[in-house]
Amino acid sequence: ARPKVGYYYTGKDAFSLITDQVSLIKVRDIQSVPVVVSCNTSAYDAVVTMFLEDVGTVFAVEPGGILAGVISRKDVLKIAIGGNDLHKMPVKVLMTPMPKIVVTTPDEPVLAAAKKIIDNEVDSLPVVSATSTLGNKVYEVVGRLTKTNVARLFVELGEGKGGNNYS
């Protein structure tokens, strides 16, 4: 049985109120700065970038910051234990390439983006802005949304900090 807490119902229960409030929070409100490498970078240099920037995922981009691939610690670890020479291997070989990448946008509600992270079992999503190059639709990388961002938001909302920060 649920313990009684000191408030009255107003037609909606507490969890509906959570949904109402949380639906106002967008990806742009909590996203991180993206860490990118060129598609021709070696797997070794991509790992060095991960450690220098202390991130679990880097994005491979073409000129203009156009999203080409996603490289996670898991991707690199798989290659590394296979006994391959990471110096000689471009990230192109091991990254998850477009159009297989699940993306989000700055305007998407955090809740929908967090659901993409869970449903697709990924650690992070590139935050992108759709644009057009020579008639093709491409995505420019503008941010990074991680499980850490979502977990931090959960903690902040739970501590009652959400109301002022995200409205």
Interface residues with a second copy (CB under 8 A)? 1-3, 5-8, 10-24, 44, 47-48, 50-51, 56, 73-74, 76-78, 80-81, 86, 111, 114-115, 117-118, 147-148, 150-155, 157-163, 167
Q: How far apart are CA 105 and CA 140, in angstroms?
A: 10
Cβ partners under 8 Å of residue 102, min gap 6: 116, 120, 122, 125
DSSP string, 88-104: G-BHHHHSEETTS---B
Q: How many helices (H) and strands (E) does the chain have?
A: 8, 6
- In eight-state DSSP terms, residue 166 is -
Q: How far apart are CA 17 and CA 11, in angstroms?
A: 10
Name the token pair of 150: 């979502």
CB nearer to a second copy: give 22 or 36: 22
Least CB distance from residue 20 to a second copy, whole Å? Answer: 5
